[in-house]
């Protein structure tokens, strides 16, 4: 329910409430709307992150099923798509949605997953023999600029966890 100045003005004109009560009613509904917006931003962060994970994972599953029947040149193009699309999402968030923490965290997570996906696809296309520890360290170094640019907590946690796993 939204109460405006017009509604309270009508009540004031008919001497149903006084000026102080009208101001209290308006302030109450303004605070209530502010809390609703705060609640929505707190719930969108996890939803954006889960959505990003599901989208990237679904695309990978669809491609993995038909990977051997795809021509080699198309495999390279598909292999580069995750990093191109994730970079585009980071650019969009940086230019248009930089104030939204949920968008920043989701874009960083998409970038990290896209980078790993591209690295793995290119490795599988060209049958490169790269040590696991070296590849994880390389990916972590490549992800650092995005973490610092967006000040992402989740992406930095992912990088720290992968570095800990690769060194053990």
Query: What does the pLDDT average to over 51-75?
Result: 83
Mean pLDDT, the chain, as a whole number?
Answer: 81
Query: What does the pLDDT average to over 77-85?
Result: 90
Longest pairwise C-alpha distance within the chain: 83
pLDDT band of residue 112 (cuts 50, 70, 90) is confident
DSSP 18: -
Query: What does the pLDDT average to over 33-44?
Result: 60
Predicted pLDDT at 103: 85
For 150, other C-beta atoms within 10 Å of its C-beta total 21
Predicted pLDDT at 85: 92
Is residue 99 pLDDT above 60, yes or no?
A: yes
Note whether 105 and 155 are within 8 A (CB): yes
Query: What does the pLDDT average to over 119-139?
Result: 83
Q: Higher pLDDT residue, 33 or 125? A: 125
């Amino acid at each position: 329910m939204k109460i405006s100045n017009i509604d309270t003005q009508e009540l004031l004109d008919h001497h149903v409430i006084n000026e102080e009560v009208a101001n209290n009613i308006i302030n109450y509904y303004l605070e209530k709307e502010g809390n609703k917006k705060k609640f929505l931003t707190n719930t969108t962060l996890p939803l954006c992150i889960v959505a990003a994970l599901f989208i990237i994972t679904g695309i990978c599953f669809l491609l993995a099923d038909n990977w051997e029947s795809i021509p080699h040149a198309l495999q390279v193009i598909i292999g580069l798509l995750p990093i191109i699309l994730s970079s585009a999402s980071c650019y969009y968030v940086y230019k248009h949605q930089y104030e939204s923490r949920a968008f920043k965290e989701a874009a960083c997570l998409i970038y990290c997953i896209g980078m790993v996906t591209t690295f793995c696809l290119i490795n599988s296309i060209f049958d490169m023999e790269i040590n696991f520890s070296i590849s994880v360290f390389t990916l972590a170094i490549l992800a650092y600029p995005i973490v610092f640019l967006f000040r992402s907590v989740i992406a930095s946690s992912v990088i720290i966890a992968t570095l800990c796993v690769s060194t053990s």
